[in-house]
Amino acid sequence: MIRPLRALLLAAGLGTRLRPITLHTPKCLVPVAGEPLLGRWLRQLEAAGCEAVLINTHYLADQVEAFLQQRPAGPMGVHTIHEPELLGTAGTLLSNRAFFEDSTGLLIHADNAMVFWRPMKPAPLSACSRCSPFAPISRAAAELWSPIPRAC
């Protein structure tokens, strides 16, 4: 049984290490390559088939809400939870654990950039996972994508 994918995007932080940029912009809305980080995450999660996203807010929350309002609606549910006092990573996760019930969950720091990579079909391994110099990577790839016959 495949469980739906849900994500918690942590976007409430103060962004003190990015000042002065974050004096007037929440760090999740800082643009990278012309696109706010939060927009990048939402686009990638939707493309990956994520069912729903929960975004925590605190610092400059009105800007995050405005950004989400102007975003075109798609198949992925996007919800926010405002934290009047910052709960921290663990506190936010624990207080919203019901959101992940019966699903596969992702916890994402929305002020980080990442690109999802998904191959169209399994790539053949150049050597057996026991003798390859990249044995841990080969083993992980074999387990992740499909059973690959061993060469030795």
pLDDT by residue, tens only, the chain of 152 residues:
788 899 999 999 998 888 898 899 999 999 988 889 999 999 999 988 899 999 999 999 999 999 999 999 889 999 999 999 999 999 999 999 999 998 989 999 998 877 655 544 444 444 444 444 444 443 443 343 334 444 44
pLDDT reported for residue 65: 97
Beta bridge partners of 53: 7, 78
Structural domains in the chain? 5-109 (3.90.550.10), 119-152 (no CATH)
H-assigned helices in 36-134: 37-47, 61-70, 88-95
Residue 59's pLDDT is 95
Look at residue 98 in the predicted model and tell me its pLDDT. 93
Q: CA-to-CA distance for 103 and 99, rounded, in angstroms?
A: 9
Residue 140 confidence (pLDDT): 40
State the pLDDT at residue 116: 57
